[in-house]
Each structure stands twice: as C-alpha cells, then as structure tokens.
Amino acid sequence: MSNDVIYLDCNATTPCDPRVVEAMLPSMTESFANPTTRNHRPGRDAATALERARATIDRLLGGRAASEVVFTAGATEANNLALIGAAEALADRGRHIISQVTEHASVLEPLAALKQRGWEITLVGVDGKGRVKLEDLEAALRDDTALVSLMLANNETGTIQPVTRASELAHARGALVHCDAAQAIGKLPVDVAALDVDLLSFSAHKFYGPKGVGALWIRHRRPPIRIASVIFGGGQESGLRSGTPNVPGAVGMARAMELAADEGEGERARVAAMRDRLEGSILGAVEESSRNGDVDNRLPNTTNLSFTEVEINALLVSLPDLAVNTGSACTSAHPEPSQVLRAMGVPAELAGSSLRLSLGRFTTEAEVDRAAARITEEVIRLRDMPTRMGRGSHRY
Ligand code: PMP
C-alpha cells in the first residue's frame, strides 16, 4: 500500500490488481463500443469481449453454460435480483423464504421489503461460532418454501457456512438455494457444482477487480429457473439487467477471477499464515482479548478480535496509521455493537469493542508486525487512561 497507512480492510474492498487494470484498458479505449449494437464491427468486438468474460467466469465457477452469468453492478444488485426476482417468479409455489440472521444488509433488506409485500420470512439463528443452525433450518423448511438464502462466508468474522449441506436440505423440500458469495470468491475455491446452489452473487472489487461490477450466476437447467426482472429497460442480459453492459468491468472481473485461480492455494496459505501471526501476536500480548468466529471454518484472511474495557471508536481514532474496521464497512456509520456478534451470543460490551482485520494479496509481513505492535500498544494505553476511555468508563 502506498503512503504510510497499513491497509487491513480487504473485506470492505481490495485494490485493483495492476494485471486487472491492464486487461481492462483495451475495452475502454479500443473495444469501447456498445456491445448491444451488433450492426457494426466495433459493437461486435465489444460483444465478443463481454461474452469471453462471461464464459471465463462461468468456467471458473464450475458452471456449464456462459449464459448462467448475468452481469450486475455488484453483489448488492445481484442479491436483490436473486431474492426479489426469484420470490416474484416463484410466488405460485409459495411465499415463504428462509435465510439466517448474520446475512449482509443486501440480503436482509430485500427480505424485509418482501415481508412488507406479504412474503413470510424465517431468519434462522447461528451458533456461538456464527454457523447457521442446520437443524433449525431443516425444521423451518415447508412445502411452500420457495427459496433459501445463505451466505458462503461472513464479512465480519469470516465464518464459512455449511452451504452444501443446507442446499441438500432445501432441495429435498423443493426450494431453490441462493448463496451470497461476495466474501468467498477470491478467498476460497468456489465451485457451484460442489455447493449445489441455484443462484450465486458476487462483486469484483472484493477480489482485486474493479468496483461497480458483479454478477448473479443462475444455474442452467430445464425447465429454466424463473427469475423476474427488477430493472426494466432495453432488455440486456437476457432481460434480467437492462442497461448498457459494463464491458471493462466484466473483462476486469474475469481477469481477477483468473488471477485468483492462478494464485490459488499458495496465496491462501501465505495470507492465512500472516493472519495467524497478527492474531497470535495481539492475543498473546493483550490481556482480556478474545477471538470471534469459527477457527476451523473461516476465511484465510480475516480475524475478528474483541478487547474488554476498550472504547472501540477511541481505539480507531488512536490508530490513524492503520485502515481497520469495527465490523461491516457498510454499517460502520452506525456505532452500535455488531449485530453479527450479538447473534452469536457475544456480550454487548465485547460485540461493541470488536476489531475486524482483513488481509489480502498485497499485505506484507512487515505490515502485519507493525499493525500488531500498534494495536497492542494502543489497547494497553487506552486501558491505562484514568477516565473517559479507560477502565470503568461508560461504554455503549
Ligand atoms: N454481501 C456481502 C457478504 C458483503 O460483504 C458485501 C460487501 N460489503 C456485499 C454483499 C455487497 O457488495 P457490494 O457493496 O459490492 O454490492
């Protein structure tokens, strides 16, 4: 990372890999034409670039047909299309949808909107590690359950959900399965066949691609999975996402996915080793610090730590040299204890003093050691302060 800030917020977003930028440039300067215009060569060239990107992404996800990939502006849009689109198209089967409590807002909010419109939503709880309670999910399934939506990995804790098992349960009752894989792609091998999901959402900027592009993968099968459109217009993307396609974005996302596949296990092991070193160093040096999440089932780049007797905003203010987060970046404007940690049974005080550290491809060992030293130093200093921010002060 340039300048003097150590960036440990890769679950919020990642920098574009220079190799991705390089791959995108021709589709901005040369193949810049509108890919829906097929009556001239530049248009056809742009369409070729778009379709190549679509085919690459489908292949790398383990899909069977390029047409399974619908480009969107990101995972938020893909989640909305999956949930609202499938709910509307499947209303004749039933108006019941199951998800779980630690989903991202881009799943929970469309579900809340559907509830307003008459759908019945069941949110299943999680255990102390953040894993969905499968027995509760199984018990919640009904004949009129149209859809089950389960994230692959949690943005705050990195906890990986048992998606394959949930798919098995849901399919046995005839429900479709949607998976928000926004935090998993690029950090874990993601294979739609192994997960056995019907719909999968993701965003390129979470894996060293550009912002403003993502996709909804829709399983190709007969009869086709029915999804209703939520954006109306020129009918692009098989009518599911009207609007001029973002060709550079799609090309960049495909390249980013190729790089993630190439870097593969080597990158995951290297990042996990640095994450473990960072975590071990802080937990070893700071008394009354604890780790949140599932050590055996979590993203290789993520750690989530809580410190008793520390006011988290004071800690962040005292660490201007680190880019770290208190939870999901999308909710960091709301200074409330993390709902994800609360759902896991973490006491409010600890949930309100949690730090999410998420490493990435460009993180160095020197940065990790510096970050561990700085966090340790500031937690101890804040605890030693006599009033306001220190022991015995008012917190949340
Ligand atoms: N799902 C999860 C789990 C996420 O972490 C995020 C991004 N914070 C999203 C969906 C939404 O992605 P985007 O903001 O790129 O639309």
The answer to whether residues 12 and 302 touch, using CB atoms and an 8 Å cutoff, is no
Token digits for 241? 């996402």
The predicted structure's pLDDT at residue 337? 87
The predicted structure's pLDDT at residue 184? 98
Task: Return d(Cα 372, Cα 367) in angstroms, integer.
Answer: 9
Token digits for 107? 């799943």
Q: What is the DSSP letter of 17?
A: P
pTM over 0.85: yes
Q: What is the DSSP letter of 232?
A: -
Token digits for 22? 């390089």
- The answer, yes or no, to whether any atom of ligand 1 lies below 6 A from the CB of 76, is yes
Ligand 1 nearest atom to the CA of residue 328, by list position: 8
The predicted structure's pLDDT at residue 393? 39
Task: Assess whether 197 and 273 both reside in one domain.
Answer: no
Give the active site residues: 330
- The answer, yes or no, to whether any atom of ligand 1 lies below 6 A from the CB of 354, is no
What's the mean pLDDT in 36-54?
A: 96
Token digits for 81? 């299309």
Task: Assess whether 234 and 150 both reside in one domain.
Answer: yes
CB-CB neighbours of 159 under 10 Å:
29
The predicted structure's pLDDT at residue 329? 46
What's the mean pLDDT in 8-29?
A: 97
DSSP 175-221: -EEEEE-TTTBTTB---HHHHT-SEEEEEGGGGTS-TT-EEEEE---
Closest residue (by CA) to atom 12 of ligand 1? 75
Residue where a domain terminates, one of 218, 242, 259: 259
**H or E stretch covering 303:** strand 302-307
- The answer, yes or no, to whether any atom of ligand 1 lies below 6 A from the CB of 183, is yes
**189: pLDDT strictly greater than 90:** yes
Residue where a domain terminates, one of 259, 289, 308: 259
Task: Return d(Cα 348, Cα 238) in angstroms, integer.
Answer: 46
**332: pLDDT strictly greater than 60:** no
- The answer, yes or no, to whether any atom of ligand 1 lies below 6 A from the CB of 75, is yes
Q: How confident is the model at residue 40 (pLDDT cuts 50, 70, 90)?
A: very high
Distance 106 CA to ligand 1 centre (A): 7
For a mutational test of ligand 1's pocket, the pick from 109, 183, 340, i.e. the residue with the most ligand atoms closer than 8 A to its C-beta, is 183
Task: Assess whether 216 and 268 both reside in one domain.
Answer: no
- Structural domain tally of the chain? 2
- The answer, yes or no, to whether any atom of ligand 1 lies below 6 A from the CB of 292, is no
Task: Assess whether 280 and 145 both reside in one domain.
Answer: no
- Write out pLDDT tens, residues 361-395: 999 999 999 999 999 999 999 999 875 444 443 33
Buried b (16+ CB within 10 A) or exposed e, 275-291: beebbebbbeebeebeb
Structural domain contains residue 393: no
**330: pLDDT strictly greater than 50:** no
The predicted structure's pLDDT at residue 395? 33
Task: Return d(Cα 30, Cα 133) in angstroms, integer.
Answer: 51
**234: pLDDT strictly greater than 70:** yes
* Full domain range(s) for residue 123: 18-259
Task: Assess whether 247 and 276 both reside in one domain.
Answer: no
Task: Assess whether 190 and 280 both reside in one domain.
Answer: no
Residue where a domain terminates, one of 259, 294, 310: 259
What's the mean pLDDT in 110-120?
A: 98
- Burial (CB count within 10 angstroms: exposed 0-12, middle 13-18, buried 19+), residue 168: middle
Rg (CA), the chain: 22
Q: Within the chain, where are the H helices?
A: 18-29, 41-61, 75-80, 86-89, 105-116, 134-140, 163-172, 192-195, 247-285, 312-317, 339-343, 348-351, 365-384
For a mutational test of ligand 1's pocket, the pick from 156, 330, 331, 358, i.e. the residue with the most ligand atoms closer than 8 A to its C-beta, is 330
